[in-house]
Amino acid sequence: MSAIKIGILTVSDRASNGVYNDISGREIERLMGTYLTSAWEPVYRVIPDDYDTIKRQLMRMADVEGCCLILTTGGTGPAPRDVTPEATEAVCSKMMPGFGELMRAESLKYVPTAILSRQTAGIRNRTLIVNLPGKPKSIQECLQVVFPAIPFCVELINGPSLLCNEEVIQIFRPKSS
Amino acid sequence: MSAIKIGILTVSDRASNGVYNDISGREIERLMGTYLTSAWEPVYRVIPDDYDTIKRQLMRMADVEGCCLILTTGGTGPAPRDVTPEATEAVCSKMMPGFGELMRAESLKYVPTAILSRQTAGIRNRTLIVNLPGKPKSIQECLQVVFPAIPFCVELINGPSLLCNEEVIQIFRPKSS
Amino acid sequence: MSAIKIGILTVSDRASNGVYNDISGREIERLMGTYLTSAWEPVYRVIPDDYDTIKRQLMRMADVEGCCLILTTGGTGPAPRDVTPEATEAVCSKMMPGFGELMRAESLKYVPTAILSRQTAGIRNRTLIVNLPGKPKSIQECLQVVFPAIPFCVELINGPSLLCNEEVIQIFRPKSS
């Protein structure tokens, strides 16, 4: 059985130019490593804040590389180059507004500028795409609140079972209706 | 004076196939019976999770049968066949994001998978359409928090006055501006 | 250096007809006066609830008059003439869902009909546009919770620095990433 593939897409002009190291994408990879007990491998990439490049990478990770989950970081703010939510929406057939709402509500406990984050989530065929914030600390805060719903969501779109370390993250699956 | 018509639309492949009974639509009808003191009658239908069928039924209930309010149940999750929010948006001229936000926030008190619900609400001419969750327990939880705003909303779109049993549900109408 | 321009756009059939005074727009102007220590001037206008008129005024305030921030009041409810959010979205390239979410959550502390408000916010080039509610009391409640994030947002879209009276309103700027 092949390992479950999870896309980690860092969207950042500066990280992709080598101006600084991509600590955000690496933080997502580290967190997934602590959450998951299923065999998995990251499909990891760092790209600039370019609408077409983001779309192309999301489609490739979903359609060609078979990621059941893609976690993006960066490009969700109000600045002119921030277009990750728009690119995400462009490749999804279904949007999941609850992810952005909960992440913003969680981040608001720490900073009032959380309302400037435009994070969203959506579904492309069998792939769930979730935008995470840009900073490692915010990534952890947000992932902790939305991840408990992710394994069940991936199953609903006919993806693999993501098994998790319940001592690190409490996953929830409702009883079938 | 004719009775107020309220649409109850159960969207479910299995309930429409007769695989199981529609306990969700019946729960909405029961709750409306406890809330409303105005004379009313349900316009009740069970249909499959099909985009065009949902749109057609919403339009018929609104335009032909004159429902001032349509409450749907089912089809709001992330699964491929879940398209109730998309069909709702397609027939509405105005969306009401506050309904979905509040229902998800309320459901989050019980289950972290509440963020997977894509429920929305919108207005088609003189009809308010509200997506409710699929399970009877969640229907009651959600309806209890959004219903207090519904009679005022129906009045604002030139619908009838929905009178309620204040011992069961506290309706709110702001003083006119 | 010229004063910072802030658009205050009252959208109301009755106020624009002279049926009543525009106390809402004046309340926004008063609040801005208490918040800001930077030199600023209001670009103030009262217009009817007409989609094309709202769009035209928003574009003029942003593109011709150079407002870095436009605060609207009125036209965000479910009534047939309420089209301020639609006109706002039509002139923006980027939507900021966190503003509406937080304003509705705040207003919900006071009235359950807060979910009927369809307020949003968005960005048009170098201008942040924020829909506020129609009533002076609600304007103050909402502005108090979203304003702390506004000066940083305006800077991110290459607008001027809005300096504020920290005894009246606590502005937040995250440390640069």
Q: How do residues A2-14 score in pLDDT, each as one tens digit?
A: 899 999 999 999 9
Looking at the complex, does the CB of residue B111 fall below 8 Å from at least one CB of chain A?
Answer: yes
For residue A96, list chain B residues with Cβ-Cβ distance below 8 A. 78, 115-116, 118
Q: From residue C61, how far is each of A65, B28, C45 by CA, in Å?
A: 47, 47, 10
Q: For C28-49, what is the mean pLDDT?
A: 98
For residue B105, list chain A residues with Cβ-Cβ distance below 8 A. 101, 105
Q: Which residue ranges form the domains of chain B, and what is each CATH number? A: 4-156 (3.40.980.10)
Looking at the complex, does the CB of residue B142 fall below 8 Å from at least one CB of chain A?
Answer: no
* Yes or no, beta carbons of C108 and B99 under 8 Å apart: no
User: pLDDT tens digits for A95-104?
Assistant: 999 999 999 9
User: pLDDT tens digits for B71-88?
Assistant: 999 999 999 999 999 999
The model's confidence at residue C30, banded by pLDDT at 50, 70 and 90, is very high
Q: Which residue has the higher pLDDT, B149 or B177?
A: B149
Choose, out of A115, A119, A171, A177, the residue to mutate when testing the contact with B (most B CBs < 10 Å). A177
pLDDT number for residue A175: 79
The model's confidence at residue B115, banded by pLDDT at 50, 70 and 90, is very high
User: pLDDT tens digits for A71-93?
Assistant: 999 999 999 999 999 999 999 99
User: pLDDT tens digits for C50-67?
Assistant: 999 999 999 999 999 999
pLDDT number for residue A19: 87
pLDDT over 80 at C176, yes or no: no
Q: For B128-138, what is the mean pLDDT?
A: 97
Q: From residue C172, how far is each of A107, B81, C29, C30, C123 by CA, in Å?
A: 14, 43, 21, 21, 19
Choose among B146, B148, B153: nearest Cβ to C78. B153
* Yes or no, beta carbons of B116 and A96 under 8 Å apart: yes
Query: Would you list the DSSP string of C27-83?
Result: HHHHHHHHHB-S-EEEEEEEE-S-HHHHHHHHHIIIIIS--SEEEEES--SSSTT--
* Yes or no, beta carbons of C157 and A111 under 8 Å apart: no
For residue B158, list chain C residues with Cβ-Cβ distance below 8 A. 80
User: Is C156:A79 a contact under the CB 8 Å cutoff?
Assistant: yes
pLDDT number for residue B2: 80
Looking at the complex, does the CB of residue A74 fall below 8 Å from at least one CB of chain C?
Answer: no
* Yes or no, beta carbons of A172 and B77 under 8 Å apart: no
Report CA dihedral (A76, C126, C115, C46) to the nearest 10 degrees: 180
For residue C102, list chain B residues with Cβ-Cβ distance below 8 A. none
Q: For A20-35, what is the mean pLDDT?
A: 97
pLDDT over 60 at A66, yes or no: yes
Looking at the complex, does the CB of residue A166 fall below 8 Å from at least one CB of chain B?
Answer: no
User: Is A157:A123 a contact under the CB 8 Å cutoff?
Assistant: yes
The model's confidence at residue C1, banded by pLDDT at 50, 70 and 90, is low
* Yes or no, beta carbons of C118 and B102 under 8 Å apart: no
Strand partners, C4: C40
Percent of chain A predicted with pLDDT > 70: 98
- Report how far residue B43's alpha carbon sits from residue C160's, in angstroms, rounded to the nearest whole number: 56
pLDDT over 80 at A21, yes or no: yes
Looking at the complex, does the CB of residue C115 fall below 8 Å from at least one CB of chain A?
Answer: no
The model's confidence at residue B1, banded by pLDDT at 50, 70 and 90, is low
* Yes or no, beta carbons of C104 and B98 under 8 Å apart: yes
User: pLDDT tens digits for B156-169?
Assistant: 999 999 999 999 99
Q: What are phi and psi of C158, to 5 degrees?
A: 70, 30
> Which chains form contacts with chain C, at 3 or more CB pairs under 8 Å?
A, B
For residue B80, list chain A residues with Cβ-Cβ distance below 8 A. 157-158
- Amino acid identity of residue A35, one-letter, is Y
DSSP class of A4: E
- Report how far residue A58's alpha carbon sits from residue A63's, in angstroms, rounded to the nearest whole number: 8
- Report how far residue B6's alpha carbon sits from residue B61's, in angstroms, rounded to the nearest whole number: 9
Choose, out of B115, B139, B141, the residue to mutate when testing the contact with A (most A CBs < 10 Å). B115
